[in-house]
Amino acid sequence: MMNKKRRFSIGEIANLTGVTIRTLQYYDNIGLVSLNKESTNGRRYYEEADITKLQQVLFYKSLGLPIKEIKELVVEAVTMEQVSDVLQKQRHIFYQKLNDMRMSISLIDASLKNLEKNEGPISGELVQLMISLNKDIIFEYKDVHYDEKTEDVLTNHYENAEEVIEAYWKWKSLILEAVTHIINGIDPEGSQGQDYARRWIEMVGQITDGKLELMEAHKTAYENRNQWPEEDRRLMEFTDEFIDKSVEGYLKVKKEEKND
């Protein structure tokens, strides 16, 4: 005698998956995960194959895919290449969101540093700069090219977009902070300037891992900043003097402390 396929009520599936009955009914109504119906008494139920389909729906939903795309993936016959394309697209969307969050954090950090030892509201000049920043400028670097050795070093070290975004915003955050210091007339060799220099040096160490070839690659990129997106090039050139003076002052003090 053949084993009878197990059937599950909508309530049982709601308890098993944590999905509300209303949501399951919605999925049924739009043909995403349909309930079966007994011919004799009209009772609605799911089979084990339906649970697998529901798990796929919940997986894609957890990745932020819209219902329309989920339906195409789960209900319609699709190839592995189509599934891969959809996931790659969603992956890119998440990297864009990650970039947006890193930018927001950087703007908040720069604003907090501006307020730390300065009375009064954030200056209008600084606010105007921040709202005019291009949040997607990092993606323009794909069109920037250096010599083959430099590109090989940078590509081999920063293997994925997340690492690139993290390194970029560590740098950009401190660039924006330097702008706030310049606007507020902060002395690069004063206490705030020296605190800034310490964190700038730490940032350089973090994004280069202390590797000489990576430091040289970043130096080459800096020397060829005429190829950078205009916003970053102008910000770097605007802050260069402040950064150099603060770092020189910091290293001088450290050297004197070491010799004492």
- 113 and 51 part of one domain: no
What is the mean pLDDT of the segment spanning 208-226? 91
Residue 83 lies in a domain: no
- Here the tokens at position 120 are 């009064």
Name which of 32-41, 56-65, 226-235 the model is least confident about. Answer: 32-41
Strand partners, 45: 36
- 173 and 209 part of one domain: yes
- 45 and 163 part of one domain: no
Contact (CB, 8 A) for 28 and 18: no
Last residue of a domain, one of 74, 109, 131: 74
Residue 250 lies in a domain: yes
The whole-number pLDDT of residue 3 equals 53
Report the distance separating Cα 111 and Cα 123, nearest Å: 10
Strand partners, 37: 44
Q: What is the mean pLDDT of the chain?
A: 86
- 184 and 235 part of one domain: yes
Name which of 88-92, 123-127, 148-152, 158-162 the model is least confident about. Answer: 123-127
- 67 and 152 part of one domain: no
Report the distance separating Cα 2 and Cα 16, nearest Å: 26
What is the mean pLDDT of the segment spanning 10-15? 91
- 105 and 214 part of one domain: yes
Q: Give the range of the structural domain holding residue 69, as residue numbers without chain letter.
A: 7-74
256 — pLDDT class (breaks 50, 70, 90): confident
Residue 88 lies in a domain: no
pTM of the model: 0.71
Could you report the per-residue pLDDT of 158-175, keeping only the tens digit for each? 878 888 888 899 999 999
Residue 227 lies in a domain: yes
Residue 1 lies in a domain: no
Report the distance separating Cα 230 and Cα 132, nearest Å: 13
Residue 52 lies in a domain: yes
- 240 and 163 part of one domain: yes
